Amino acid sequence: MNAPSSTWSAGLRGLFVAGRGRADNDPRPDPKDYVVAGLSLERQNIFDRVDVRLLGDNIFNTAYAYPSDSPTFLPYDIPAPGRMWWLSAVVHL
């Protein structure tokens, strides 16, 4: 009996955010435009019955923030997380 062949898959995603404004009564400058990239790499059957996956988010460590609605309580907006990586393995019994 032959073992299933190993299979690689990869993916790249990008998110471009631009042109966000603020309310007319908000004195702060408009939020900056930004690009965030993500990556996925997966191999099935890397070992007998084991699949592995590597996922990355914000892989270029872009500094950006989500706009807040309140210049008083959150004057510097809500910072987004930096680069993150996840590694997972699945064993098929």
Q: Which helix (H) or strand (E) holds 47?
A: strand 34-47
Q: Identify the burial level of 44 via C-beta atoms within 10 angstroms of its C-beta, where 0-12 means exposed, 13-18 middle and 19 or more buried.
A: middle
User: pLDDT band for position 1 (50/70/90)?
Assistant: very low
CA dihedral for 57, 58, 61, 67, sign (positive or negative)? negative
User: pLDDT band for position 6 (50/70/90)?
Assistant: low
Q: Indicate if the pLDDT at residue 81 is higher than 60.
A: yes
Domain boundaries, the chain: 7-91
pTM of the model: 0.76
pLDDT (tens digit, 9 = 90+) per residue, 26-80? 999 999 999 999 999 999 988 888 999 999 999 999 999 999 988 888 899 999 9
Cβ partners under 8 Å of residue 16, min gap 6: 33, 34, 35
